[in-house]
Structure 1
Amino acid sequence: MEHHLGTLNTPLGKLFCLIENNCISLLHPSPHLVPNSLYINSSHPLLAETQNQLDAYFSKKLQTFNLPLKITSSSFGEKILSALQEIPYGQTLSYKELASHIGHPKSYRALGSVLSKNPILLLISCHRIILSSGDLGQYLWGNERKKKLLTLEGAIFS
């Protein structure tokens, strides 16, 4: 299996990006999720393209990422992570609405557990999930970053 690891820069901080067989399997701030046997090698073209698309997103020139992803989760987790990719830029859903959307209306707590382990931040848009009350809820990259992302997208106004 071919692996490439790079660090990508965003206005909100550095992200580790892992490419497995030409698909992104990790875009995350935590180095603890990166396998110990890998070293940073930023020569893969998909790393450059991911950086280009992140730059365009943060400069409000891109609303939909077009990058190959490798989602590794349970079937329930894959269903949730796939559904997150359908939420349009600038829109939010509550945990409860997303649970209903995937056909599991009472599983919003389990859904939250899956979101807390999302390995591909930004590209799988867990930041667009909020509480039914309209409060932000939790975000594994920090609520201040979640607020900045939703403000960038126009989903909330500061």
Structure 2
Amino acid sequence: MRADAQEQGPALSGAWFVGQRHFDGPAPHWIADERHPLLREAAAQILDWHGGRRQHFSLPIAPQGSAFQQQVWRALAEIPFGTTRTYGELAAALGRPAAARAVGAATGRNPLSLIVPCHRLVGRDGALTGYAGGLERKRALLDFERQRGHRPDA
């Protein structure tokens, strides 16, 4: 996974899987210092998530996108660990029930994969659809969360 932190703030502005769509590789302004406190904390929280010790992230984030994209990404962050929502359900929750495709487009541009859990969105029939990190990765992430189960205290 690659991450980008903003020096001013500091806040995490991106975290992508290597090979993910809409990710062209590290930008020249990226901080590549493994000692950077925010990047160290992000790495620790990701390891805790993979180790089953964490179900959500508590990192300062500052993803760059349109107002609608920001709204979608905030809503994605509210989907509980181990559960899914459909694109239509998320669109309706945003007060835009006809915007399921727009929600999908915004979700595909989510610059904080895993941290903002876009893998929890599925098609209206529960089918796995679109995921910038690849459908196999999406399936693995959802399976991982289902195996861990919902623990409200985590």
Cα contact 1:93–1:128 (8 A) shared by 2 = yes
Please state if 1:67 is matched with 2:53. Answer: no
- Structure 1 residue runs of 5 or longer lacking an equivalent are 1-14
Determine which structure has the larger strand proportion and give its number.
Answer: 1
Q: 1:114 aligns with which of 97, 102, 106?
A: 106
Q: Cα 1:63–1:39, aligned 2, differ >3 Å: closer, same or farther?
A: closer
Distance 1:59 1:132 in 2: 30
Cα contact 1:90–1:153 (8 A) shared by 2 = yes
SS of 1:19 mapped into structure 2: strand
Q: CA deviation at 1:138?
A: 1.1
Question: TM-score, with normalisation over the residues of structure 1?
Answer: 0.84
Q: Which has the higher contact order (CA 8 A, sep 6+)?
A: 2
Q: CA deviation at 1:132?
A: 0.8
Cα contact 1:95–1:130 (8 A) shared by 2 = yes
Q: CA deviation at 1:42?
A: 1.7
- Aligned residues between the structures: 143
Q: CA deviation at 1:131?
A: 0.4
| Paired letter, 1:23 | A
Distance 1:55 1:35 in 2: 24
Q: Cα 1:34–1:141, aligned 2, differ >3 Å: closer, same or farther?
A: same
Cα contact 1:99–1:106 (8 A) shared by 2 = yes
Q: CA deviation at 1:80?
A: 0.4
Please state if 1:140 is matched with 2:128. Answer: no
Q: 1:36 aligns with which of 9, 13, 28?
A: 28
Deviations 1:40-66 (A, max 9, x none): 222201111111111110111100111
Q: Cα 1:112–1:36, aligned 2, differ >3 Å: closer, same or farther?
A: same
Cα contact 1:130–1:136 (8 A) shared by 2 = yes
Q: Which residue of 2 aligns with 1:91?
A: 83
Q: Which residue of 2 aligns with 1:78?
A: 70
Please state if 1:23 is matched with 2:23. Answer: no
Deviations 1:68-126 (A, max 9, x none): 00022111111100000100000100000000011111011111111111111001110
Cα contact 2:4–2:31 (8 A) shared by 1 = no
